[in-house]
Amino acid sequence: MGSSNTFLFFCIILLCVNSGAARELHYDWTVSFSEAMPLGVDKKVIVINDQFPGPLLNATTNDVVNINIHNNLTESFLMTWNGVQMRRNSWQDGVQETNCPILPGENWTYSFQLKDQIGSYFYFPSLLFQKAAGGYGPIRVNNRAVVPIPFAQPDYEYDVLIGDWYNADYQLLRLALDGGSVLPLPDGILINGLGPNQATFDFQPGATYRLRISNVGLKTALNFRIQDHQMLLVETEGSYTVKHYYESLDIHVGQSYSVLVTAKNQTEGSSFYMVAASRFIPVELIGVGIVRYSGFQGKPREPLPPFLASYDYKYSIDQALSIRSDLSVGASRPNPQGSYHYGSINVTRMLVLKNDVAFINGQNRYTVNGVSFLHPDTPLKLADYYNLSNVFVPGIIPDAPSNSLPHLGVSVIDTKYHDYAHVVFQNPLFSPQTWHSDGFNFFVVGMGLGIWDEGKMDTYNMVDAIYRSTVQVYPLSWTAILIELDNMGMWNLRSQDAEKWYMGQEVYIRVKGVEQDPSKISPRDESPIPQNVIKCGRAL
């Protein structure tokens, strides 16, 4: 090879290395209380850097994010990153059994890499029912320049956080749950932390907008639409979808979607309603925002668009089944999403998880396979690392529903690194359920009415199922997923219904390799314990 060619070769190598180099991003966030009146009633809300919702976390695939959180609340605090997979690093997951809390007046720095991810997500407080007071905000993970997005670059982007809202103080709601009560119906629906007609979105005629929409509420599924505008669905929780236009989208608690909206060319300076309407509850609650053209300040002349019937489950199920992965495009990497043939992999672990409700020790509790999660005195991740006895025993929760009496327990499911799991969520109740997995996305291969049995596998989509981290299970129904457990650590699998989660509807999945001693696991498989780790309980 000649000298000029050698120089060119090394220049190309250097360019490739630099183009994939990880950036270090640093943020300083202060969490505190403030007063707000989203629905006309004064309420204590949780703000971040005096913002509600909190600031946008805007990063790119493979960036390393460092967020120093100062807790100025009067009680302990943790932040979790809904949908961010925390590859090899459950130490940063920010839930009660992976992290000791940040005490009042203290601070702690989360440090994690957005490894091999793109997409739309959000963060929120994970302790003490604090999500009912806000503290949430949007996350964007953008494509690297070497991996193009599979649609024309939009002219503008908006983050749209929709969710139910309670006027009652979150601490009073928590006390009610602790006393055995159930949550009442919410008082309203917020859009970006604002009440009816307060959230505004400025459109320029003919421009294209990417809206990253997340349901950040406590328990209510919402139907989202923009008056007289169609939405082209392009992404959900890091997976690019087959492009399809929708008049409206059902977005369940904890789910995130990206849509493209093309602004009208001729509007005469008018405005249009953006609507988030409650689903599957006995009252009709509506959150309303305003899409304004050319700064038009007035309200739309037309009435609100028509709403779907509150309990139209068929519409919702048909829509859910219509959302498919686009196999021909890349996501965080150039190779197509369809290059991973999930349907041809042999299942090595089978779990059937039934959610239910029970009355245990004088309390209304929610269960998974008859077990309602009881938090031990030391986070599971620390107990596992330090090999502390009598904190948890894997196997307390069975792999399938049993006839045993409902009881409290520390539910940990042991799995092997690279197990390929078939998980069925069974919902025998008359209300919908939503499940979320920290640490992983999964393929939603099927859903249907009734009780699941092996014959239902004949109906599975084994080709282009959507790949996401949060999925709904309709009343008296089942949903099946396939998930590769390729992320070592201690991972939370939970109900996204905040009430059910708080009252016990969660499990932890421990993913381990051949080496059982956590202190001897290779950093190539799992990140070592952080130098700044907070210790508590029996790990002090």
pLDDT digits (tens, 9 = 90+) for 105-123: 999 999 999 999 999 999 9
pLDDT > 90? residue 155: yes
Q: What is the mean pLDDT of the chain?
A: 94
Q: For 9, phi and psi rounded to 5 degrees?
A: -60, -45
More confident residue, 297 or 416: 416
What is the distance between the alpha carbons of residues 391 and 165, in angstroms, rounded to a whole number? 36
**pTM (2 decimals)?**
0.95
Would the pLDDT of 12 be above 50?
Answer: no
* pLDDT of amino acid 295: 67
Check if the beta carbon of residue 220 is closer than 8 Å to that of residue 253: yes
pLDDT at 93: 98
* Cα distance between residue 179 and residue 428, in whole Å: 25
Q: 274-317, pLDDT tens digit by residue? A: 999 999 999 999 999 999 998 677 788 788 888 899 999 999 99
Other CB atoms within 10 A of residue 495 CB: 25
Residue 3 predicted with pLDDT over 60 = no
pLDDT of residue 20: 52
The 10s digit of each residue's pLDDT in 90-101 is 999 999 999 999
Q: Are 135 and 80 spatial neighbours (Cβ–Cβ below 8 Å)? A: no
Say if residue 13's pLDDT is above 50: no
Query: Per-residue confidence at 19, pLDDT binned at 50, 70, 90?
Result: very low
- First-to-last alpha carbon distance for the chain, in angstroms, is 60
pLDDT of residue 515: 87
Domains of the chain in start order, with CATH, are 24-142 (2.60.40.420), 156-322 (2.60.40.420), 342-512 (2.60.40.420)
| Confidence tier at 137 by pLDDT (50, 70, 90) | very high
Return the C-alpha torsion angle 245, 248, 252, 253, nearest 10: 110
Residue 7's pLDDT is 36
Range picked from 17-21, 232-236, 292-296 for highest mean pLDDT: 232-236
Percentage of the chain surpassing pLDDT 70?
Answer: 96
Q: Which two tokens stand for residue 26?
A: 């640093």
Answer yes or no: is pLDDT of 376 > 50: yes
In angstroms, rounded to a whole number, what is the distance separating the alpha carbons of residues 28 and 49? 9
How many Cα atoms are found within 13 Å in the side-chain-facing hemisphere of 63? 22
Interatomic CA distance for residues 415 and 387, integer angstroms: 17
In this predicted structure, the answer to whether residue 491 has a pLDDT above a threshold of 70 is yes
Cα dist from 223 to 232, 238, 359, whole Å: 15, 21, 32
Average confidence (pLDDT) over 83-90: 98
User: Torsion-angle region of residue 285: left (phi > 0), alpha (psi -120 to 50) or beta?
Assistant: beta
Confidence band, pLDDT 50/70/90 cuts, at residue 11: very low
pLDDT average, residue stretch 71-91: 98
Q: Report pLDDT for 411.
A: 98
Interval 382-411: pLDDT, tens: 999 999 999 999 999 999 999 999 999 999
Beta bridge partners, 489, equal 511
| Cα dist from 301 to 200, 270, 296, 461, whole Å | 16, 8, 12, 44
Q: How far is CA 372 from CA 94, 357, 358, 451, in A?
A: 21, 9, 9, 21
pLDDT beyond 60 at 14 = no
Joined tokens for residue 245: 């236009």
Once rounded to an integer, what is the mean pLDDT over residues 336-344? 96
CB atoms within 10 A of CB 27: 16
pLDDT score at 184 = 96
